[in-house]
Amino acid sequence: QGQLVQSGADVKKPGASVKVSCKASGYTFVSDDINWVRQAPGQGLEWMGWMNPNNGNTGYAQNFRGRITLTRDLSINTAYMELSSLTSQDTAVYYCAKSGEQGFDIWGQGTLVTVSS
């Protein structure tokens, strides 16, 4: 079945960067892409980008290009999302999600990132 467990909530100042981790278990980490999706308070889902854990290839949504970096550490089956130049508009819950045949079939629990001075 598999599981994705994300790092805990974080508070950042405007202009800073945040790095969220997503640890996979219960399935073969390199078999499927890991995606990142965010949800601002009271808003809808926004796809941010994908990463192929097998080869490290990535693709980013237009809105985040230049500010987002997706990486992974195969030794600990963990994916990372780093977002830079944060503003208050980046305050949101950030999710990682595995994409397979059945769509985004496994989701992390979400990580609340608050950007505040």
Partner 1 sequence: SFELTQPPSVSVSPGQTARISCSGERLAVQFVYWYQQKAGQAPEVVIYKDDKRPPGILERFSGSSSGTKATLTISAVQAEDEADYYCQSSDSSGTWVFGGGTKLTVL
Q: Measured from the CB of residue 66, what is the shortest distance to partner 1 in angstroms?
A: 16
Q: Which of 16, 68 has the CB closer to partner 1?
A: 68
Q: Can residue 50 be called a binding residue for partner 1 (CB under 8 A)?
A: yes
CA-based nearest residue to 112, from 3, 7, 4: 7
Is residue 17 within 8 A of residue 113, CB to CB? The reply is no
Rounded Cα distance between 117 and 13, Å, is 5
Among 3, 16, 61, 114, contact with partner 1 (rule: CB under 8 A): 61
From 10-18, 23-31, 54-62, 81-89, give the range in contact with partner 1 by CB under 8 A: 54-62
Q: Can residue 15 be called a binding residue for partner 1 (CB under 8 A)?
A: no
Is residue 11 within 8 A of residue 116, CB to CB? The reply is yes
Is residue 22 within 8 A of residue 5, CB to CB? The reply is yes
Residues forming the site for partner 1 (CB under 8 A): 35, 37, 44-47, 50, 59, 61-62, 95, 97, 99, 101-105, 107-110
